[in-house]
Amino acid sequence: MSSRLVCFNPDCRAEYASTEVLYACTKCGGLLEARIDYDRAAAAGWKQLWRERRMSNAPLDASGVWRYREMLDLFDGFEHVVTLREGNTPLLPGAKAAAYGGLDHVVFKHQGFNPTGSFKDNGMTCGATQAKRLGLKRVACVSTGNTSASMAAYAATSGLDPIIFIPNGNIAFGKLSQALDYGAKTLQVEANFDQILALVRELADRLGIYLLNSVNPFRIEGQKSIVIEMLDQRDWKVPDWVVLPGGNLGNVSAFGKGLRELLDLGLIDKLPRLAVVQAAGSAPFYDYVRQDDKAHFPTVTKPETLATAIKIGDPVSYPKALLEIETSGGVVERANEQEIADAKAVIGACGIGCEPASAATLAGIKKLVAAGTMRADADVVAVLTGNVLKDPDYIYHYHTGVLKGPHGEPLTSTFGNKPTVVPNDADAIAALLG
């Protein structure tokens, strides 16, 4: 068996074939992770192979996920791959953002350049591929918006039947619109993300629908490619820090696993430190890493933030995330609504832009630098997880000075950029522009 699913619980470690439809260990209920038996001798040639594939027009090579398929060797071959040419996302320097955060330099790995506008595509291409490999028909997820947009697109392109569950009134319009456009059956449930995840897990088992949330280990495998591609783009120079927002904590689990595997294969010589930033109103992992009692997770029953992508109080992947924070010498930070909103405007002013959850990265960097945790001259890559157009209402409200926090409290438009209404009169406009 060259690849398999293994229980993440160190006291269990039960193993399953990668063809079993499972989202948790049947023996202990633990999280599952994929284990690949790598061809270590061949690994020395992979960097060159991956670079050469950038010249190729073959669909698998043109994908910024499947180009690195030696790290995703879970599918008994690649004939079922479902790809929208995901990945291939840029590294963009942001001088104003660096100055704002207190850093000499910062580089953004912008996952918003993906086909559906978020990092979810890196994982969904693998999840959809596994669904096709297993001959399944219906797929489902609960989502704060991006997973559902991504799943809907990958299902549509591969002939799967997508059913999405979203918290009613709590997802950004851009994301909901995408799911409708890609033809997903869309159920708006009157409950929060954590409650709906429990519901969907039950329905997936009962109705035989394949679950594509990040409890699905194939999703996590695909998201490893975000850090692999980032390192390839940096000619394998490992940064000091990789900063990312944290919600359900699948992405930090994927980054950490991918980085550990690269280190183990001798493809990098050290691990970057991982910094996860949560929204202050939905920050159970921030509290968890600080408490001594690691046997109890401090679930937030009413998570609150305008960064709806990360409005999650009971993140399923927290045990994996804890391992990755500890192994990498990482940290967990939190940022409040004002800090996220201002950081987002600064990223926008760099000509880059992102959705609110992504801006938690810069807000977190500012705090980590101020606290002395992150040095001003550190080599920092911040991952922007979603596209600027995902949540236009938020942007318009911020710049016009009417953005209100989760309790209706007014937020300050520190970097507001209000549009001006002018008469249809050249003289008046010329006078205004000076």
The minimum distance between CB 148 and ligand F0G, in angstroms, equals 7
CB-CB contact of 354 with 388 (8 Å): yes
Residues 227-246, mask of contacts with ligand F0G (x by CB under 6 A): ------------------xx
Strands (E), 73-122: 91-93, 107-110
- In single-letter form, the type of residue at position 64 comes to G
- Per CB under 6 A, the list member of 32, 98, 309, 382 interacting with ligand F0G is 309
Kindly state whether residue 363 participates in binding ligand F0G, applying the rule CB under 6 A. Answer: no
- Does position 247 interact with ligand F0G (CB under 6 A)? The reply is yes
Answer yes or no whether residue 324 interacts with ligand F0G by CB under 6 A.
Answer: no
| Binding positions for ligand F0G, 128-157, rule CB under 6 A | 143-147
User: What's the CA gap between 63 and 261, in Å, rounded?
Assistant: 21
Of residues 154-173, which lie at the interface with ligand F0G (CB under 6 A)?
none
| Residue 114 contacts ligand F0G per CB under 6 A | no
Write the DSSP string, 337-383: HHHHHHHHHHHHHTT----HHHHHHHHHHHHHHHTTSS-TT--EEEE
Q: Does 251 bind ligand F0G (CB under 6 A)?
A: yes
What strands lie across the sheet with 273-279, from one edge to the other? 91-93, 107-110, 380-384, 241-245, 273-279, 331-335
Least distance CB 340 / ligand F0G (angstroms): 12
For β-strands 138-142 and 210-211, DSSP reports them as parallel
Measured between alpha carbons, how far is 138 from 159 in angstroms, rounded to an integer? 9
Site for ligand F0G in 176-215 (CB under 6 A): 214
Among 94, 162, 250, 284, binds ligand F0G (CB under 6 A): 250
- State which of residues 153, 242, 310, 331 lies at the interface with ligand F0G (CB under 6 A): 310
Would you say 50 or 285 has its CB closer to ligand F0G? 285
Structure tokens that stand for 19 in this block: 């063809």
Touching ligand F0G, residues 51-90 (CB under 6 A) = none
Rounded to whole angstroms, the Cα distance separating 276 from 326 reads 12
Report the run of H or E that residue 258 belongs to, with start and end. Answer: helix 250-264
Is the CB of residue 108 less than 8 Å from the CB of residue 134? no
Size of site (CB under 6 A) for ligand F0G: 22
Q: Which is nearer to ligand F0G, 8 or 46 (CB)?
A: 8
The residues binding ligand F0G (CB under 6 A) are: 118, 120, 143-147, 214, 245-251, 309-310, 355, 357-358, 385-386
